[in-house]
Homo-oligomer: A and B are copies of this chain.
Amino acid sequence: MSRALPQVEPDPSLPRRVTVYEVGPRDGLQNESGVVPAAVKAEFVRRLLAAGLETVETTSFVDPRWVPQLADAEEVLALLGDAGRGPRRPVLVPNLRGLDRALAAGVGAVAIFGSATETFARRNLNRSVEESVGMFAPVVERARAEGLWVRGYVSMCFGDPWEGPVPVAQVVDVCRRLMDLGCDQLSLGDTIGVGTVGHVHRLLEALAAAGIGPEQVGVHFHDTYGQALANTLAALRDGVSVVDASTGGLGGCPFAKSATGNLATEDLVWALDGAGVETGLDLDALVATSSWMAEQLGRPSPSRVVTALTGG
């Protein structure tokens, strides 16, 4: 048999180039039950960079009591050296204390993690949406003063496990506040994976009407209900060109008892390669990286492309 590859047939409704924002080392590994050694994490990032990824979120400076999986953030960054620095190696910072640690480690970009819903803000951040924006304000201000690039995650943009479907206007309001703080980019998260293509279109339309165009946002879909790739392509048709994905599909959502988590970078790249959309990524190298990481974690990758190409 010949090696299976998608035939290149450009889809005129998609952008010419897409930036994959790789979240595996942070969003993926923080949801793993076991703790991965710092040296393995650093090697994971190095392999991702070698596969062509230009934007990789490397780790998180959340309090280690809450996310013990990433308690070694300083060590990982020290191991990465210059490869872990610069405006395209963001780290997650929850507050000023996290930002201090990140700055001390020499990072060039940070991400904050907000919520579109009150219930999730209270459960995840222990404060209201209003209070959380107030907490982020000095973080973004100081980060910008230090010359850092700043991303704002907005979680629960489509549905919330306690509140149900989330009104588009409510999401737009939180997005507007985070942009007003000075974020360079937002990431619209479907944290529980319930969104569908029409909903994606309506949200992007409403954001654009509020002055937040598709060039200012990335999209972050979870595959819990099998919708991640379809929703991503819907967003690309509306002009978005930054897509969050996790190599090997690492990461999950603690609210859904499911093995499926983030959109797998490989499944996204298969789609984009076939549509002639440039990503700069080497699919074989990504698959090899996933397979290597799956060995470290002792479980198979949930990526369908990885499974198909490696006979898993």
A164 CB–B CB distance under 8 Å? yes
Give the docked Cα–Cα distance between A151 and B225 (Å).
Answer: 31
A9 CB to closest chain B CB (Å) equals 4
A227 CB–B CB distance under 8 Å? yes
Give the docked Cα–Cα distance between A307 and B225 (Å).
Answer: 8
Q: Given A6-B195, A230-B233, verify A225-B165 contact (CB < 8 Å).
A: no
Binding stretch for chain B, among A64-72, A80-88, A196-204: A196-204
Contact partner, A5, options B194, B255, B303, B304, Cβ 8 Å: B194
Give the docked Cα–Cα distance between A225 and B258 (Å).
Answer: 19
Q: Given A197-B11, A256-B308, A274-B198, verify A267-B226 contact (CB < 8 Å).
A: yes
> Which of A158, A163, A308 lies at the interface centre, i.e. has the most chain B CB atoms within 10 A of its CB?
A308
Residues of B within 8 A of A229 (CB): 226-227, 229-230
Residues of B within 8 A of A264 (CB): 226
23 contacts between A and B (CB under 8 A): A2-B162, A2-B163, A2-B164, A6-B165, A7-B165, A8-B198, A9-B168, A9-B196, A11-B196, A11-B197, A197-B274, A199-B274, A223-B304, A224-B308, A225-B308, A226-B267, A226-B270, A226-B304, A227-B267, A230-B233, A257-B311, A258-B304, A260-B304
The size bracket of the interface on A is 35 or more
A276 CB–B CB distance under 8 Å? yes
Q: Given A163-B2, A226-B303, verify A308-B193 contact (CB < 8 Å).
A: yes
A271 CB to closest chain B CB (Å) equals 5
A residues 120-142 with Cβ under 8 Å of B?
Answer: none
Taken residue by residue from 293 to 312, chain A's Cβ proximity to chain B (1 for < 8 Å, 0 otherwise) reads as: 00000000001110110011
How would you classify the secondary structure of chain A's contact residues: helix, strand, loop or mixed? loop
CB pair B233 A275 closer than 8 Å:
no
CB pair B165 A199 closer than 8 Å:
no
CB pair A198 B158 closer than 8 Å:
no
Give the docked Cα–Cα distance between A159 and B9 (Å).
Answer: 13
Residues of chain A touching chain B, judged by Cβ–Cβ distance below 8 Å, are 1-2, 4-12, 14, 158-159, 161-166, 168, 192-199, 201-202, 223-227, 229-230, 233-234, 255-260, 264, 267, 270-271, 273-276, 303-305, 307-308, 311-312
Residues of B within 8 A of A267 (CB): 225-227
